């Protein structure tokens, strides 16, 4: 149980285009979903926290107009990287928590984004 999927697993896009990444909790309802970014050999950095039906809370330094998060249901959250640039190339990982305590987060397999 507690499986989280992400789609796509890899995406290559041209600079200036927008890319949408989906995060789904397959066998549980996620109270909260989190989006992280990880650069090579670096730690996971939390970008934003989202609860179903409400606006996402963004971490300091993360542009909310560039990284649009929609949490439309208890099993689906999407991250849209708008007007992507090469510096947005990274590994994007979502996680989902099934309790309000958020004690345990279940992570997706990640999405590798390459912006040319």
Partner 1 sequence: SQKIEQNSEALNIQEGKTATLTCNYTNYSPAYLQWYRQDPGRGPVFLLLIRENEKEKRKERLKVTFDTTLKQSLFHITASQPADSATYLCALFVNTGKLIFGQGTTLQVKP
Q: Which residues bind partner 1 (CB under 8 A)?
A: 4, 6, 32, 34, 41-46, 49, 91, 93, 95, 101-110, 112
Greatest C-alpha distance within the chain? 40
Cβ closer to partner 1: 32 or 75?
A: 32
Cβ closer to partner 1: 37 or 84?
A: 37
Cβ closer to partner 1: 4 or 81?
A: 4
Shortest distance in whole angstroms from residue 45 CB to partner 1: 8
Cβ closer to partner 1: 5 or 17?
A: 5
Query: What does DSSP assign to residue 27?
Result: S
Shortest distance in whole angstroms from residue 5 CB to partner 1: 10
Shortest distance in whole angstroms from residue 4 CB to partner 1: 8
Q: Where are the beta strands (DSSP E) in the chain?
A: 4-7, 10-13, 19-25, 32-38, 44-51, 57-58, 67-73, 76-81, 90-97, 106-107, 111-115
Shortest distance in whole angstroms from residue 83 CB to partner 1: 26
Give the whole-angstrom CA distance, residue 82 versus residue 67.
6
Residues 76/14, Cβ–Cβ less than 8 Å: no
């Amino acid at each position: 149980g507690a499986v989280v999927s992400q789609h796509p697993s890899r995406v290559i896009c041209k600079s200036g285009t927008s890319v949408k990444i989906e995060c789904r909790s397959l066998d549980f309802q996620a109270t909260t979903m989190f989006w992280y970014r990880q650069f090579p050999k670096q730690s996971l950095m939390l970008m934003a926290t989202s609860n179903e039906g409400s606006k996402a809370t963004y971490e300091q330094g993360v542009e909310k107009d560039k990284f649009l998060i929609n949490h439309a249901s208890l099993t689906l959250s999407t991250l849209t990287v708008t007007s992507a640039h090469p510096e947005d190339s990274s590994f994007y990982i979502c996680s989902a928590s099934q309790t309000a305590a958020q004690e345990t987060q279940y992570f997706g397999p990640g999405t590798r984004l390459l912006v040319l």
